[in-house]
Amino acid sequence: RQGAWEQRDTWQRANEIIEKLNLKAGSQVADVGCHEGYFTMKLATIVGKNGNVYAVDISKDKIERLKKHLADRNIQNVKPIIGEEDNPHLPSGTLDAALIVDTYHEMDDHQQILHHIKAALRTGGRLVICEPISDERKKLSRAEQARKHELGMNYAMEDLKQAGFKIVWKEEAFVDRVKEKGDRMWLIVCER
């Protein structure tokens, strides 16, 4: 896992994504769709011992692997959460930020998820979403994109506006993975 994470560091632009969250020591942040904890570990360091990372995934296996990574590194400011497909089970009104990377396209009930995330964010709290889409699939329907495990930025923008988020920054080709995976990853930063 560590080797895969180190390789991911070469292309993901993780530090730049995290900067968009506006975190500081003591911040409360959610990593929704945390998988085994690539971003969770980085976020835990930034928010420090007085902050918390709510690491959410619907896969019990991924949460168990995350717990092992946390124990191996003696990280104690992460709260692993087994979420549901339409509810990440985040605490209400307490988060400074939430992050969704390479997971939003997997979600079915986007408005319900966004409702729960918005309810968890403090006023002015940020939501950052980063997702892949290949150039040749940008014009496909949302359903066709989802079947290919991708989602165009335009669909997410519509969702966010409908949910009442204010979009403060966006970039269509934030991460270029064409050589590695044949796609680019867009990034949207929005606020409650």
DSSP letters for 20-45: TTT--TT-EEEEET-TTTHHHHHHHH
What is the pLDDT at residue 145?
95
pLDDT tens per residue across span 64-78: 999 999 999 999 999
Q: Cα separation of 56 and 90, whole Å? A: 8
123, pLDDT greater than 90: yes
What is the pLDDT at residue 179?
75
Which 8-state DSSP code applies to residue 164?
A: T
119, pLDDT greater than 90: yes
Q: Cα separation of 129 and 125, whole Å? A: 13
36, pLDDT greater than 90: yes
The percent helix, strand, coil of the chain (3-state, each to 5) is: 40, 30, 30
Residue given tokens 């307490």 in the structure block = 94
Give 172: exposed, middle or buried? Use CB within 10 Å, 0-12, 13-18, 19+: middle
